[in-house]
Amino acid sequence: MKRSKPALELRETDLDRIVEMAWEDRTPFDAIEAQFGLSEQEVIDVMRRQLKPASWRKWRARVQGRATKHAALSAEEDARFKSNQQRTVTHNRISKRV
């Protein structure tokens, strides 16, 4: 099991990206863990430190129990964290949505 970095060791750009990914509805905590090595609880701790109190409460209420943020609650099991709305690239050409 990969050991995560404490949030104090993360660069400012990494913290900004973690906050951005955490705010996105379609980005599960597993994707943040895969990219940055932070568990869900560590992401919550980062958000608590980085956001203003009112923004923190709003984010926490929005995320809590949301199926798209928790892979275990999500009906889809996609290890690549790819949206089904994302276009596929084939031979350097972007294919049209079907």
Kindly state whether residue 27 falls inside one of the protein's structural domains: yes
Kindly state whether residue 2 falls inside one of the protein's structural domains: no
Kindly state whether residue 83 falls inside one of the protein's structural domains: yes
Q: What is the DSSP string of 14-29?
A: HHHHHHHHHH-TT--H
Q: How many domains does the chain have?
A: 1
Kindly state the tokens that stand for 30.
């597993």
Kindly state whether residue 4 falls inside one of the protein's structural domains: no
Q: 78: Cβ–Cβ under 8 A, 6 or more apart, which residues?
A: none
For residue 66, the enclosing domain spans 10-94
- Does this model's pTM top 0.95? My answer is no
Query: pLDDT 10s digit of each residue in the chain, 98 long?
Result: 445 455 557 899 999 999 999 999 888 999 999 999 999 999 999 999 999 999 999 999 988 877 777 666 555 555 555 666 555 555 555 555 55
Kindly state whether residue 1 falls inside one of the protein's structural domains: no
Kindly state whether residue 55 falls inside one of the protein's structural domains: yes
Which among 27, 17, 18 has a CA at the least distance from the CA of 45? 18
